[in-house]
Amino acid sequence: MTGITFIFFACLLWAADTLIRYPLLFGGSSAQQIVLFEHLILVAVLAGIFIYKRRSFNFISRKTLIPFMVVGILGSALGTLAFTEAFYLSNPTVVILLQKLQPLVAVTLACVLLKEKIDSRFFLWLGLAILGSLLLIWPDLQTLLISLKEGDLEHGQQALWGYGLALFAVVSWGSATVFGKKLSTQGLSSLDIMAGRFSFGLLGMLPFAFMAPTLITSIELTVLQKIAMLALLSGVLGMHCYYQGLKRIPAHWATLAEMFFPVAAIFINWLFLSVEMTQIQLLGAFTLIAASAMVQKRPALATSS
C-alpha cells in the first residue's frame, strides 16, 4: 500500500468523525470540551498500549521537543480549536476557502526545513487539486458570490477575528504535516509520534481546563461515550494511517493527499445522510483524486537532498 493510499484512508476516517463531532457541537458541547476529552482519552489509550507492549517513553529528547510542540500543541490542539471557532464567528465558506492555503504553507516549510526538492510539475498537480477542491464546494461558492455582490458578507470585528483564527489553523496544520515528517525521519515509529502528539496536545488544552473547570465537571456520560468514539476513530485509527503514510512519502506529497478530505466528507454525507452530489462536485472529486494519485507517478518530483 502506498503512502498516499494510507493518507486517503486517514481522510476517510476523519470525514466519518464529522457524523459524531458536529452533532455534539450543535447539541451544546463546546469545542474546548470535546478536544480536551479527546486528548485525555487518547493519552490514556496510548499509555495503556505502551505499558502492555512494555515500550519505553524515550521518544522525547532535545531533538524532538520542538517538533512535538508544533505537532501536538499547535496542530492537534490549538489548530483544531481555532478552526472550529472560526465556523461560529465567520462565514463558513470563507473559512473553508482559507483552508485551501494549507498546502502552500506545508510546501513552503517542506522546502525550507526539510530541504525537499520540488519539481515545477508538482505545482501542476497541486493546482489541479486546489481546483478540484473548489469545485467540490461550488454550491457554497455561488452563495458566497451572491453575498459579495449584495454586500451581505460579514465584515465586522467578529468575522475578521474568525478569519484570523482560520488562518492560524491553516498555519498550524501545515506546520504539523512538515514537523510530523521530520519526526518520522528521526526514526520514531507511528506509535511514538502519536503518543507525543496527543500528550503535547493535552498540555495545550490544560489551560482551558484551568480557566473553565466546568469543561470537566459538566460533561455527561453519553457525551463522553461519543467523544471516546471520536478518539478511537479519527485519533487512534486515523492518525495511525496518516503517520504510516507520512513516513513513506515526502511532506509536500502528503499535504496534497490530505486534500482528499473534502471528497471523503461528501462521500460520507452521500452514504449516511443521503446528500446528493452535483455534476460539478463529481468533476471536482475526480480532478482532486486524479491529481493526488498522479503525483506519485513521478518519483523525481519528490527526491530529497
* Average pLDDT estimate for 286-303: 69
Residue with cell 455582490: 149
Within 8 A by CB and 6+ apart from 158, the residues are 89, 90
SS3 70: helix
> Is the pLDDT confidence value at 103 over 80?
yes
What does each C-alpha distance from 37 to 135, 170, 201 come to in angstroms? 35, 23, 11
- Under the banding of pLDDT at 50, 70 and 90, the label for residue 86 is confident
pLDDT, one tens digit per residue, over 186-234 is 989 999 999 999 999 999 999 998 898 888 888 899 999 999 999 999 9
pLDDT at 305: 34
> Is the pLDDT confidence value at 27 over 70?
yes
> Is the pLDDT confidence value at 80 over 60?
yes
Backbone angles phi, psi at 100, to 5 degrees: -65, -10
* Average pLDDT estimate for 42-62: 89
Considering the entire predicted model, what is its pTM? 0.87
Output b/e per residue, 260-292; b: 16+ Cβ within 10 A: bbbbbbbbbbeeeeeeebeebbebbbebbbebb
Could you say which DSSP state residue 213 is in?
A: T
* Average pLDDT along the chain: 87
Closest among 293, 232, 262 to 92, alpha carbons compared: 262
How far is it, in rounded angstroms, from Cα 178 to Cα 189?
16
Closest among 128, 127, 108 to 118, alpha carbons compared: 108
* Average pLDDT estimate for 82-106: 82
* Average pLDDT estimate for 102-115: 92
**Using a CB cutoff of 8 Å and minimum separation of 24, what contacts does 280-287 make?**
280/135, 280/138, 281/135, 281/136, 281/138, 281/139, 283/132, 283/135, 284/131, 284/132, 284/133, 284/134, 284/135, 284/136, 284/138, 285/132, 285/136, 286/132, 287/128, 287/129, 287/131, 287/132, 287/135
| The three cell numbers locating residue 2 | 502506498
